Copies of this chain bind each other. A is one copy, B any other.
Amino acid sequence: MTKELSFEEVARSLHSNAIHLLRRVRTEDSAMGIGPAQASALSVVVFGGPLTLNELAGAEQVRPPTMSRVVEALVREGLVRRQINKEDRRSVKIFATDKGTKIIHEGRNRREKRLIKLLSQLGTDEIRCLGRAARILSRILVADHA
């Protein structure tokens, strides 16, 4: 039971688990009524405060034209609003509306419930192990954010 995993095996297993975990929670997202790119971008706006289109594109790792269209759709649906930046009138600040904020919090709750249900099968020791692992991963994933 305490068989040692090789370095490569840990990498492979983490990779596989990440895929399966996200596949699991994503089944809840259809309830939001918006596509995955819109949901992800809106989430960044809600939790990351107002930011410019370029910043948002960077955060989502897509090109500005792609994000421009996603934001356009979110504006049409009343989930964010655009506002010209006073300091630099070329750029646009994107703000979440109350409606957008509400949708994201509800979606987040659904995803979280799904995960918690999954984790509820585990014992205290195992949860503690996952918690520690999560902390380690956060550190190295955020660290070389470049």
Partner pick for A127 among B10, B22, B111, B129, CB 8 A cutoff: B10
A18 to B15, CA, bound (A): 8
Residues of A within 8 A of B (CB-CB), count = 48
Q: How many copies does the complex hold?
A: 2
A87 within 8 A of B: no
Contacts of A84-118 to chain B: CB distance below 8 A: 111-112, 115-116, 118
Residue numbers in B under 8 Å from A134 (CB-CB)? 5, 10, 13-14, 17, 133
B-binding residues in A (CB < 8 A): 4-5, 7-25, 61, 111-112, 115-116, 118-119, 121-122, 126-138, 140-144
Interface contact B140-A23, CB-CB below 8 Å? no
